[in-house]
Amino acid sequence: MRSLKAGLLAVAASASLAAALPTTATAATPRAGQYCKNADIGKTATYKGRRVKCVREGSHARWRYR
């Protein structure tokens, strides 16, 4: 019983710690200047609190601040 209580306490502590940590950007987060898919042209997203939009530039598409 004692090990069960210790295990539950450890799980509760790690869950609260994970909730308190900030989330990080994933690889899917569009950044200004990066290429974007042709299917994404016209779409907007947020990067570091600023809006970015996928726009066509010549023969390719890039994420740009808007």
pLDDT above 70 coverage of the chain, percent: 59
Domain borders along the chain are 32-66
pLDDT computed for residue 57 by the predictor: 93
Digit-coded pLDDT (tens) for 10-33? 555 555 545 554 444 455 789 999
CA distance to 1, 10, 14, per residue, from 43 (Å): 55, 43, 37
* C-alpha to C-alpha distance for 50 and 46, rounded to whole angstroms: 5
pTM beyond cutoff 0.85: no
